[in-house]
């Protein structure tokens, strides 16, 4: 025999507590079911199907067709593993209400290391896989520098090398070649203005040589990186001399033959003071990713992917959080994540972003640089996968600081305001 009762919320809760399910209708039949159970004051349902409120065909475990009101007359719990993923509305009589999310965050270690010999901005640093050390070239401390500085991450020591650049220069871009084991520096601004020079440095012998090949024209603030698949170095963008302004050009340099070629592909926008680095793409192939830059009329927040073997280029869906230039990006190869640090656009950034080229996602990590800065230079150390960032400008002073961005530390939990 079936009994009909009016449908009310109170009746619904009572029936749940007795393991009884309510079917559709203003007046509903009562029938025993094993889907609902009680555990003390808690009611739970282990049914593997979906539950709908206001809908007969829920597409998720719980789907509500209508508004959900969260009452916050209780004390907000601690954010921990148990409450991780929870949403909480925090009411306030004095200020606006907020919506908060309990989120797990994995922090990266961040610390300062041995300083450069003197403050400088506009330098270019890259690791040598031959020596396992990082080499920083040129820069400016108010005067143009020709110094080559060697940083040993295993000993945390700085050494000014005997060899020097042919002249003081800054806003150049240097990249190592795994093919020759040498480092190549391109362009930059010298005493006489922008240059098209290509300089080769051998870290094993501390010998420097000006190459016969040159860039197609003078430029400052290009971004150069080796394409390990092709064994050649690609230089992206830069600021040309005179009225020509910022370029979209992509230049390819072969260090074995000392030959320069211009790619048939160009950047989507003119860009100088961008930052490019290589990482594994979603297909598993290594590609080059370029971030932001200055068009000459404003900063960019775009991320561009370039495939060296095919000379193909595309703009990614993800972007930097805001437009920026004069930042520096480096790949943490073990995790295949790209970190971009600092930069400027109507103000300096202390922000550190993390880009996943496989997922095409961008986040801002919780750590920040010790102070906002631009015109710094960052490079990864392959042996430890630590990223080191050197020098820069904080808006009033040139910096000698070296900052180490490290591996993940223990997870932390925190309520994050999301609305």
User: Which range has the worst mean pLDDT, 91-95, 301-305, 341-345, 404-408?
Assistant: 91-95
What's residue 61's pLDDT? 84
Q: How many residues does the chain have?
A: 419
Q: What is the reported pLDDT for 1?
A: 38
E strands within 178-327? 183-186, 189-190, 193-202, 207-220, 223-227, 232-236, 239-240, 250-254, 259-262, 275-280, 286-294, 299-307, 312-324
What digits encode the pLDDT tens for the residues 170-196?
Answer: 999 999 999 999 999 999 999 989 999
Q: Using the predicted structure, report yes or no on whether residue 328 has a pLDDT greater than 70.
A: yes
User: What is the rounded distance in angstroms from the CA atom of residue 229 to the CA atom of residue 373?
Assistant: 33
- Work out the pLDDT band at 74, boundaries 50, 70, 90: confident
pLDDT at site 187: 98
d(CA 357, CA 208): 35
pLDDT averaged over every residue in the chain: 89
CA distances, 310 to each of 118, 230, 231, 385 (Å): 42, 10, 14, 29
- pLDDT for 243 equals 53
Short-list 201, 378, 216, 230, CA closest to 311: 230
Domains of the chain in sequence order? 1-68 (no CATH), 109-409 (2.120.10.80)
Nearest C-alpha neighbor of 351 from the set 377, 320, 379: 320
User: pTM of the predicted model, to two decimals?
Assistant: 0.79
Q: How confident is the model at residue 334 (pLDDT cuts 50, 70, 90)?
A: very high
**Number of helices and strands in the chain (H, E):** 1, 35
Looking at residues 325-338, what average pLDDT do you find?
Answer: 96
Per residue in 234-273, pLDDT (tens digit) is 999 999 865 568 999 999 999 999 999 999 999 999 999 9
Is residue 365 over pLDDT 70?
yes
pLDDT at residue 45 greater than cutoff 80: no
pLDDT higher than 70, residue 277? yes
What percentage of residues in the chain have a pLDDT greater than 70?
89
Specify the residue for token string 């180490």. 404
Q: Which helix (H) or strand (E) holds 402?
A: strand 402-417
Two tokens at 239?
Answer: 């600021």
Rounded CA separation 399/286 (Å): 33
Instruction: Decide if 123 contacts 170 (C-beta within 8 A).
Output: yes
Is residue 415 a contact partner of residue 102, using CB atoms and an 8 Å limit?
A: yes
Q: Using 50, 70 and 90 to split pLDDT, how confident is the model at 306?
A: very high
Mean pLDDT confidence for 349-366: 96
Q: What does the pLDDT read at residue 352?
A: 97
| Nearest alpha-carbon partner for 382 in 127, 150, 125, 203 | 127
- The enclosing H or E element of 353 equals strand 351-356
Query: Would you place residue 8 in the very low, low, confident or very high pLDDT band (cuts 50, 70, 90)?
Result: very low
Asked whether the beta carbons of 24 and 52 are under 8 A apart, the reply is no
How many angstroms separate the CA atoms of 353 and 253, rounded?
30
The Cβ of residue 2 has, within 10 Å, a number of other Cβ atoms equal to 7
**Please, which pLDDT band fits residue 71 given cuts at 50, 70 and 90?**
low
For residue 412, the model assigns a pLDDT of 80
DSSP 325: B
For residue 220, count other CB atoms closer than 10 A to its CB. Answer: 23
Q: Which pLDDT belongs to residue 23?
A: 44
Q: What is the pLDDT of residues 123-162, one digit of tens each?
A: 999 999 999 999 999 999 999 999 999 999 999 999 999 9
């Amino acid at each position: 025999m079936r009994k009909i009762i009016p449908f009310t919320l109170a009746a619904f809760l009572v029936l749940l507590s007795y393991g009884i399910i309510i079917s559709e209708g203003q007046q509903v039949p009562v029938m025993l079911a094993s889907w609902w159970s009680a555990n003390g004051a808690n009611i739970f349902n282990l049914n593997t199907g979906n539950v709908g409120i206001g809908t007969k065909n829920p597409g998720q475990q719980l789907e509500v067709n209508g508004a959900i009101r969260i009452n916050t007359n209780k004390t907000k719990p601690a954010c921990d593993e148990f409450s991780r993923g929870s949403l909480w509305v925090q009411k306030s009589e004095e200020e606006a209400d907020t919506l908060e999310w309990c989120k797990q965050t994995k922090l990266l270690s961040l610390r300062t290391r041995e300083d450069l010999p003197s403050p400088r901005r506009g330098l270019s640093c890259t690791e040598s896989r031959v020596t396992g050390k990082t080499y920083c070239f040129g820069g400016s401390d108010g005067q143009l520098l020709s110094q080559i500085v060697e940083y040993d991450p295993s000993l945390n020591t700085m050494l000014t090398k005997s060899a020097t650049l042919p002249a003081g220069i800054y806003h150049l871009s240097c990249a190592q070649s795994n093919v020759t084991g040498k480092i190549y520096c391109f362009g930059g601004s010298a005493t006489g203005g922008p240059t098209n020079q290509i300089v080769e440095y051998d870290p094993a012998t501390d010998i420097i040589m000006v190459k016969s090949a040159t860039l197609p024209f003078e430029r400052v603030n290009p971004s150069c990186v080796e394409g390990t698949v092709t064994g050649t170095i690609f230089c992206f963008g830069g600021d040309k001399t005179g009225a020509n302004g910022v370029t979209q050009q992509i230049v390819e340099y072969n260090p074995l033959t000392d030959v320069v070629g211009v790619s048939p592909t160009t950047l989507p926008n003119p860009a100088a003071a961008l930052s490019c680095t290589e990482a594994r793409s979603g297909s598993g192939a290594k590609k080059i990713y370029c971030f932001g830059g200055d068009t000459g009329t404003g900063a960019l927040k775009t991320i561009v992917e370039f495939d060296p073997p095919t000379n193909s280029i595309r703009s990614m869906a993800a972007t930097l959080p805001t437009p920026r230039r004069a930042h520096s990006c480096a790949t943490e190869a073990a995790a295949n994540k790209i970190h971009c640090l600092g930069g400027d656009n109507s103000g300096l950034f202390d922000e550190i972003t993390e880009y996943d080229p496989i997922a095409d996602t961008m986040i801002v990590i919780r750590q920040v640089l010790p102070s906002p800065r631009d015109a710094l230079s960052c490079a990864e150390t392959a042996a430890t996968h630590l990223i080191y960032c050197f020098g820069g400008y904080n808006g009033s002073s040139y910096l000698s600081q070296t900052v180490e961005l490290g591996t993940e530390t223990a997870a932390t939990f925190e309520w994050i305001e999301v609305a």
